Amino acid sequence: MGYYNSSSPQPSDEVYDLICIGFGPSSLAIAIAIQEMIPESRRPKVLFLERQQQFIWHSGMLLPGSKMQISFIKDLATLRDPRSEFTFLNYLKEKNRLLDFINLGTFLPLREEYNDYMQWCASKFDDVVSYGETVTLVEPIKANSADRVNQFLVHSKVGGIEERRLAKHVVVAVGGRPLLPKPLPSYHPRIVHSSQYSSRVPQALSDANGAYRIAVIGAGQSAAEVFSDVSAKYPNANTTLFIRGDALKPSDDSPFVNEIFNPSATDKFFRTPAEERQAQLVENRATNYSVVRLELIERIYHDLYVQRLRDPSGKSWKLNIQNHSEITGFNDISDKSVSLRMAHRDNGVDSVQTHEFDLVIVATGYARDMHKELLAPAKELLSDPEVERFPVGRDYRVQFGEGKVSADAGVYLQGCNETTHGLSDTLLSVLAVRAGEVVDSIFKPTSIGNGANGHSNGHAAKVPAKKVESYSNGNGHNGVTSNGYH
């Protein structure tokens, strides 16, 4: 299965119909949509570039027993085509677990099972994915001195060796960049973002029985999961969860509220004036930000209650939640411990305290801005190059200035359009339908150049610089490197 005929020749300046930067759930859904929406005789030349060595979804948070927060029906295909071979139900059938899953009586699979489902889907596209490849830059190209940009040159690195490929269309789906509170350094051996929890915590805390001092920062689902999991793994540690608000609050997944994640809600949100969109995002934050599933809140409350039952004095408590707390300073004591200066408010009284920890785990979310660095050379193609965000249309296509990019070429953004497409933009809920919209937007009948002419094996020959004319913005963007989360 795939888009290429491996026996076909590879021209030195081969042009892809589409290169997707990142091969996470968004791009995987696009791969599936292409496979199912475009007849084999017109199958485009497509390549997916992925930084990781294999497909894996949120590896740092695949915690034992953790469940999905959305229905399995919102998988990579069902909402677009329930008859697709890539549905979660078909995956269960292929794995001989369909009846067993039905007997569970749940719509929420284990997170590790959903990761396995996506890996099962991804394995069917190995011939069009290049793993272990980090994209560093996307340059607009004017071929044959044309007036308009009609191709894009995608720069990437594999083991320190640079590769360059031409594409008519580029989809940027690189996910989020781990976000840490400002006082904290971008890297320290004793500070771990939740995205690296599973791999880095065992390295930092090697003794499961150690009397460590652990801080968890954050009030959302990831913070609560980490707080619960790390305290179970290190029962003799003193673990404190620091939150800015009053208490852990439950996520609102009630039926009427959940309709904001319907694919049709994206149309309505996009047509709404910008000021109203922002108000709606604030109003509905309780569906996704700084909230926790009620089941987990109740489990944590139960654990705190049991230790209160056993020791009313609190002297032996291993778990604590410190509310109304915010990091205001950081001090590097050694490679074994750090101290945090925390501002606290208690009964209207403000205070500042310094706490020393053997490990600080930060679960404060992600910044969705990595596309800006990759697309820096293309910013001068915008009508207003000074604008903060790359403007996108309803079909997720970047809106470049009139007449600057050919109609049969373009750049599409995935997972960074919350302000225009709603809260579901960074979530799994709309992936199946969104992928179909992107594929439909890109691959109209006139868009596919060589679809019927035989295809390469997915690893294009490197493009010599002399073969193309770069669109130069004069700012030396060739030196820009990615943050490595592709």
219's tokens: 């009030």
337 and 394, same domain (yes or no): no
CATH number at residue 82: 3.50.50.60
Q: Are 121 and 91 in contact (CB under 8 A)?
A: yes
Handedness of CA 137, 76, 60, 342 (dihedral sign): positive
The pLDDT value given to residue 445:
55
What is the structure's pLDDT at 1? 43
pLDDT of 286 = 87
Residue pair 24/474 in contact by the 8 Å Cβ criterion: no
Enclosing domain of residue 347? 179-251+289-362
Q: Is residue 318 part of a domain?
A: yes
Q: Is residue 4 part of a domain?
A: no
Same domain, 36 and 168: yes
Residue 389 lies in a domain: yes
pLDDT value, residue 473: 33
Task: Find tokens 């009284």 and name the residue.
Answer: 349
Residues 397 and 330 occupy one common structural domain: no
Residue 94 lies in a domain: yes
Pair (324, 388) in one structural domain: no
Q: Are 244 and 351 in a shared domain?
A: yes
**Spatial separation of the C-alpha atoms in residues 61 and 5, rounded to whole Å:** 37
Q: Tell me: do 445 and 343 sit in the same domain.
A: no
- At 146 the pLDDT is 63
Determine the pLDDT at residue 127: 96
Task: Output the pTM of the full model.
Answer: 0.88
Query: Whole-angstrom Cα distance, residue 374 to residue 394?
Result: 22
Residue 232 is assigned to a structural domain of this protein? yes
Is residue 203 located within the same domain as residue 163? no
Number of domains in the chain: 2
Q: At which of 343, 362, 381 does a domain end?
A: 362
Largest Cα–Cα distance of the chain, in whole Å? 79
Q: Looking at the structure, do residues 110 and 132 belong to the same domain, yes or no?
A: yes
Same-domain check for residues 21 and 83: yes
Asked if the structure places residue 211 within a domain, the reply is yes
Per residue of the chain (486 residues), what is the pLDDT tens digit?
A: 443 333 333 334 789 999 999 999 999 999 999 999 999 999 999 999 999 999 999 999 999 999 999 999 999 999 999 999 999 999 999 999 999 999 999 999 999 999 999 999 999 999 999 999 999 999 999 866 668 999 999 999 998 899 999 999 999 999 999 999 989 998 999 999 999 999 999 999 999 999 999 999 999 999 999 999 999 999 999 999 999 999 999 999 899 999 999 999 999 999 999 999 999 999 998 898 999 999 999 999 999 999 999 999 999 999 999 999 999 999 988 889 999 999 999 888 899 999 999 999 999 999 999 999 999 999 999 999 999 899 999 999 999 999 999 999 999 999 999 999 999 999 999 999 999 999 999 998 544 444 333 333 334 334 443 344 433 333 333 332 232 323
Whether 272 maps to a domain, the answer reads no
Domain boundary among 327, 343, 362: 362
User: Same structural domain for residues 199 and 151?
Assistant: no
Q: Where are the beta strands (DSSP E) in 298-447?
A: 319-322, 325-332, 338-346, 349-357, 359-362, 366-367, 410-413
Asked if 219 and 351 sit in the same domain, the reply is: yes
Alpha-carbon distance of 223 to 48, in angstroms, equals 32
Q: Is 303 in the same domain as 209? A: yes
Report if residue 146 sits inside a domain. Answer: yes
Of 362, 395, 417, which one is at a domain's C-terminal end?
362
